[in-house]
Amino acid sequence: MKRMTIDETFAPTSRTLTPEGFLCVKGIAARTGVYQYLSSELELDGPERIVNVYRSPEEVFDPVSMATYLDKDVTNDHPSDLVDSKTFKEVSVGHVRGVERDGDNLVTDKVIKDQSAIDDIESGKAELSPGYTAEYILAPGIAPDGTPYEYEQRDIKINHIAVVQAARAGKVARIFDHKPKGNPTMATRKLFLDSKKTRSVVLDEEHAVIVEDAITSLIRFADEETARADKAEATKDAAEEELEEAKKATSDAAIGLRVRATLDTIALASKVVKSFDAKGLVSPLEIKRAAMAQLKPTRDWANKSEAYVTAAFDAAADEADEKDDEDDDGTKTNDSLRQFAKDATKAPKLTTDGSDAYSKFLRGDK
């Protein structure tokens, strides 16, 4: 598989200015050894993991590969794609004029001609990072230093060298005014894949430890997986709860309670509205709305809240009950008076005095 890669930022070994004001920078562009990538960067199947990739001396110092450095463009930051005849005018700020081997390192000599790029370097933008294409071949093995690896990097072809911002790890790969003593013990690898995303990885040459960016990527991946798992679990729990509620709602007891509530509400509604028609109404709330709409049609009962409708309905029902009680009391009083009058008509007639009886006595009537 062939990938475009933006690699380590190294410390140039010199920095000089020509009479024309051009900046000449000589420094490390590549080195041999095992480097670590995320499996997603190599588009490998399976879960995210760290993959060791070996860059052998045979590949780094292959004459054909080294020749690809010559006359390649220097850019101010990495471009969004490979530099070619259509883009070099917009992105090129100089070129590579020489390449050589120095132990396990490959050193290049570059000329930076663009004044803005030179100003950036003078202001502290002082790292160099190569961009190239390479093949990544599955070939497990062990490097000369004892580090195991899974893939080998082959067919390295340089496309450009970029001037980039300083690394996070103490600005290891800086542009120096003189050659530092010994080789830098740390290097920052910048990767550029088909997705056009970059990352910086700080490597300790003795322990090959990936820090910060790789860890951040893995943590982000783990967090996303955890979030997806939590969401799936929450969805499952919600579905189970809904199923349980549905079972409860369709049980015989639940149905009986709903029927009783509906019948009780219809009974109350019939008191509130004497000619109330509950046809087609099922829920107590619907029945209450319909009853109140008939009782007080000027109000917009359809848009009233459940609490409002229930309170109004209960008040109307209480008022109807009180009226029924008053009607019952009045009916009982009227019934008593009517019965008294009826009984009075059946009683014997009484005279106002005893004159009639006395007259009969005098006449000798019996």
Residue 178: pLDDT band by 50, 70, 90 thresholds? Answer: very low
- Residue 197: the pLDDT is 43
- Asked if residue 173 has pLDDT above 50, the reply is no
Best CA proximity match to 191, nearest among 240, 153, 143: 153
State which of 12-21, 137-146, 180-189, 309-318 shows the largest mean pLDDT: 137-146
Q: Per residue in 95-147, pLDDT tens?
A: 999 999 989 888 889 999 999 999 988 787 767 778 888 888 999 999 999 99
**Alpha-carbon gap, residue 11 to 184, rounded angstroms:** 7
- Residue 68: the pLDDT is 94
- Residue 183: the pLDDT is 39
Contacts of 113 (CB under 8 A, 6+ apart): 22, 23, 93, 94
Strands 92-102 and 105-112: antiparallel
Strands 73-76 and 186-192: unpaired
β-sheet bridge partners, residue 92: 75
The mean-pLDDT minimum among 78-82, 142-146, 271-275, 286-290 falls in 271-275
The mean pLDDT of 9-30, rounded to a whole number, is: 78
Q: Give the residue, 12 or 51, on which the prediction is more confident.
A: 51
- Residue 356: the pLDDT is 63
- Residue 171: the pLDDT is 35
- Asked if residue 199 has pLDDT above 50, the reply is no
Q: Give the residue, 274 or 176, on which the prediction is more confident.
A: 274
- Asked if residue 70 has pLDDT above 90, the reply is yes
Q: Per residue in 321-362, pLDDT tens?
A: 787 666 665 555 566 656 656 665 665 555 545 556 555 555
Check: CB of residue 9 under 8 Å from CB of residue 173: yes
The mean pLDDT of 32-50, rounded to a whole number, is: 84
- Asked if residue 181 has pLDDT above 60, the reply is no
Q: Per residue in 202-226, pLDDT tens?
A: 444 433 444 455 556 667 777 788 8
- Residue 264: the pLDDT is 85
- Residue 184: the pLDDT is 36
> Where would I find the beta strands (DSSP E) of 143-273?
148-164, 186-192, 198-204
Strands 73-76 and 148-164: parallel
Q: Per residue in 236-277, pLDDT tens?
A: 888 888 777 766 666 667 777 777 888 888 888 888 887 787
Check: CB of residue 82 under 8 Å from CB of residue 3: no
**Alpha-carbon gap, residue 355 to 362, rounded angstroms:** 11
- Residue 328: the pLDDT is 60
- Asked if residue 26 has pLDDT above 60, the reply is yes
